[in-house]
Amino acid sequence: MPPVPSSTPVAAGPPLALVDLPSDSLAPTRSAGVAPGRLASRALAPLLLLGAWQLASATGFVAREVLPPPTDVAAAYGELISTGELQEALPVSLARSLVGLALGGGTGLVLGLCAGLWRRGEELFDAPLQMLRTVPFIAMIPLFIIWFGIGEGAKIALIYAATIFPVYLNTYAGVRGVDPKLIEAARVFDLAPRGIALRVILPTALPSILVGLRYSAGVALLALVAAEQINARSGIGYILINANVNQRADIIIAGIILYALLGILIDIIMRAVERLALPWRGKLVLA
Amino acid sequence: MSSLNVARLDREEAADARPLALELHGVRRLFGTRAVLDGIELAVRRGEFVSLLGASGTGKTTLLRILAGLDRATSGHVRVAAARSVVFQEPRLVPAMRVWRNVVLGHSRGRETRRRALDALAEVGLGSHADAWPRTLSGGEAQRVALARALATEPGLLLLDEPFAALDALTRIRMHALVSQLCERHQPAVVLVTHDVDEAILLSDRILVLAQGGIRFDARVPFPRPRQRLDNAFGALRARLLAELGVAPEDAVA
């Protein structure tokens, strides 16, 4: 290209100070996945902690009865499995939390849809639910024991009461958060109110509803732990109560970790549900 | 000049045998005590492409919303084709529905439905995107889906609410051609609300200017299609419309 003759006096001025900006080829490259080096550095702190724990107990720095070393906890799992206690307890606890979650989440969903879709529903349900929401569900335990006794009823009721609100709040917010312009467009194209609710509002609010469900699943676990402190005759809570009576700290720690694993399991399931239910939002693009 | 135009329109109107797609008499719309529309008289026939120009706040969109049934006139008589559809400024596609389901949003579900959606999508050149999610479309593609949705109902009256305003300049040129061609084929009555004087001249059979609550200008565009912006007559009409909209010649760059 021939140089453009310049007629402006600016061209004759002193040269501008220029800087080099880095380009990708100069900058260090970032790998997409987790590099082995990074994985190692992430695992470092937990492993060190575990090592310190083992060392502290093994050397007698901490009494074995107070804080048994990780190896003892692992042995406790072996004991629980060999006696069959673990296999018996897990399905019982899982069933409790899932039944409570299904009932509570279902109620929250129905109430949230009613309040979100109908003005009358909002008038009827929203204020009372917002008030009840502020009651810490653990405070209800004594009352539930009077109402439902110390059997399964009180446990399920507690989980039920705790799991209504996250689903309710997120469903209500999700339904109300649907772009009114979208609903207007659906009306223009002669979609009946039922069709608008089922085909436009509900699917569009689903991400928010599932966030509520995931949150409720976490709360269900919390409520399970609290509920199983009520005279449990089965489940993880029963193992814990027994261990408490027998002063077995290793089994108690094993039980606590069991609850944590249950929480991780529930979270993994909920994420999978979200991926399956929301193909239109995810990173997986079909076209 | 205005009254002259109206007189000529009346004579043409009488000779026009095409069915009426919309008829407004004395339509008023108050917001509080302010009359945004104050006695609108208008008739549009099938196959007519009408552009509605007006400065901001003159009630263009209000009028369009009344025609769509999304807003109500405070008083007056509104009669519109039963089958009508709207393309909004935004595509307004349901994100949780695949493209083809969006196209047949209000249709009853049946075997024919997908066929109809595919036909409509093919017309806007998006036949291969039928099973895509709206999120994956570009702005121009999404607006073409919205156009397919509007035409899939075979409307007698097609209402366009600044549908090109959010598109980039190049996409807009292509959309102009597409809308022009599809309206030619389907022959609905079209009411296009726009700010863009050039767009109005390029596309319409007839241009209205809305001001002070009424239609202050109503003229047919006499040029043959396809229209060229460089024509002298184009420039003259453009200047006239800009004057009607309160833009003086010295305000414009070109």
**Tens-digit pLDDT string for chain A (287 aa):** 455 555 555 667 788 889 888 877 655 555 555 677 888 888 899 899 999 999 998 888 888 888 999 999 999 999 999 999 999 999 999 999 999 999 999 999 999 999 999 989 899 989 999 999 899 988 988 999 899 988 888 999 999 999 999 999 999 999 999 999 999 999 999 888 899 999 999 999 999 999 999 999 999 999 999 999 887 788 999 999 999 999 999 999 999 999 999 889 888 888 888 888 888 886 544 44
Taken in order B219, B220, B222, B224, the sign of the CA dihedral is positive
What does the pLDDT average to over B120-149?
A: 93
pLDDT band (50, 70, 90) for residue B238 = confident
For residue A287, list chain B residues with Cβ-Cβ distance below 8 A: 129, 131-133, 136
Taking the Cβ of residue A191 and every Cβ of chain B, the question of whether any pair is shorter than 8 Å is answered with yes
pLDDT band at B62 (very low <50, low <70, confident <90, very high): very high
Q: How far apart are CA B68 and CA B92, in angstroms?
A: 15
Do A200 and B132 make contact, defined as CB atoms within 8 angstroms?
A: no
CB contact under 8 A, B106 and A286: no
pLDDT at B194 over 60: yes
Q: How far apart are CA B221 and CA A226, in angstroms?
A: 78
- Give the model's pLDDT for residue B7: 46
- Quote the pLDDT of residue B42: 92
Question: Shortest CB distance from B85 goes to which of A189, A199, A279?
Answer: A189
Is B85 in Cβ contact with A188 (below 8 Å)? Answer: yes
CATH architecture for the domain at A76-277? Orthogonal Bundle (1.10)
Note whether B192 and B67 are within 8 A (CB). no
User: CA–CA separation, B93 vs A182, rounded Å?
Assistant: 7
pLDDT at A32 (0 to 100): 53
| Chain B residue with Cα closest to A192 | B106
Lowest mean pLDDT among A180-184, B44-48, B176-180, B250-254: B250-254
For residue A128, give both structure tokens: 């009372």
Per-residue confidence (pLDDT) for residue B6, from 0 to 100: 47
Residue with tokens 């300049």: B169
Integer Cα distance of A41 and A20 in angstroms: 34
Q: Do the Cβ atoms of B133 and A280 come within 8 Å?
A: yes
Nearest residue, CB atoms, B135 vs list A191, A195, A280: A280
Give the three-state DSSP class for B219: strand
Q: Please give the Cα distance from A119 to A176 (Å, whole number).
A: 11
Of B228, B188, B194, B225, nearest to B208 by C-alpha is: B194
**Helix or strand holding residue B137 (H, E):** none
Helix residue ranges, H only, chain A: 36-58, 70-82, 85-117, 119-121, 127-133, 141-148, 152-176, 180-188, 193-195, 202-227, 236-245, 249-277
Residues 6 or more apart from A189 whose CB is under 8 A from it? B85, B105, B106, B149, B153
Contact check, Cβ <8 Å, A287/B134: no
Distance CA A285, CA A125 (A): 39
Q: What is the mean pLDDT of chain B?
A: 87
In angstroms, the separation between the Cα of residue B243 and the nearest Cα of chain A is 34
Contact residues, chain B, for A189 at CB < 8 Å: 85, 105-106, 149, 153
The confidence score (pLDDT) of residue A283 equals 58
Decide the pairing of beta strands B214-220 and B20-31.
unpaired
Among A186, A203, A287, whose Cβ lies nearest the Cβ of B96?
A203
Percent share of chain B, pLDDT over 90? 57
Q: Counting beta carbons within 10 angstroms of the beta carbon of residue A208, is it exposed (0 to 12), middle (13 to 18) or buried (19 or more)?
A: buried
Please check whether residue B173 is in contact with residue B81, taking contact to mean a CB–CB distance below 8 angstroms. Answer: no
Given CA atoms A68, A71, A77, A83 in this order, what sign does their dihedral have? Answer: negative
Residue B76, phi-psi category: left (phi > 0), alpha (psi -120 to 50), beta (remainder): left
* Domain coordinates in residue numbering, chain A: 76-277
Residue pairs between chains A and B whose CB atoms are closer than 8 Å: 64
Q: How far B127 CA lies from chain A's nearest CA (Å)?
A: 12
Which residue in the set B68, B86, B132 is minimally distant from A286, CB to CB?
B132
Higher pLDDT: A227 or B12? It is: A227
Interface test with A, best of B61, B87, B94, B133 (most A CBs within 10 A): B94
Task: Return d(Cα B88, Cα B160) in angstroms, integer.
Answer: 6
Average pLDDT over residues B232-237: 85
For residues B230 and B99, the model is more confident at B99
Question: Mean pLDDT throughout B44-58?
Answer: 91
The answer to whether A189 contacts B96, with C-beta atoms less than 8 Å apart, is: no
- Among candidates A179, A181, A287 on the partner chain, residue whose Cβ is nearest the Cβ of B136: A287
Element (H, E) at B190: strand B189-193
Note whether B68 contacts A206, CB cutoff 8 Å: no
Q: Does A64 touch chain B (CB under 8 A)?
A: no
CATH 3.40.190.10 fits B46-71+83-248, yes or no: no
User: Of the ranges A7-11, A30-34, B139-143, B230-234, which is most confident?
Assistant: B139-143
For the record, the structure tokens of B199 come out as 């767009």
Question: Which residue in chain A has the smallest CA separation from B150?
Answer: A189
Task: Report the range of poorest mean pLDDT among A39-53, A120-134, B14-28, B182-196.
Answer: B14-28
Q: What is the mean pLDDT of residues B40-50?
A: 92
A209 touches chain B (CB under 8 A): no
CB proximity list for A183: less than 8 A, separation 6 or greater: A196, A200, A201
pLDDT, residue A27, reads 53
Q: Give the residue extent of every domain in chain B.
A: 46-71+83-248
The predicted pLDDT at position A29 comes to: 53
The answer to whether residue B58 scores a pLDDT higher than 60 is yes
C-beta atoms of A188 and B134 within 8 A? no
The Cα–Cα gap between B87 and B82 comes to: 16
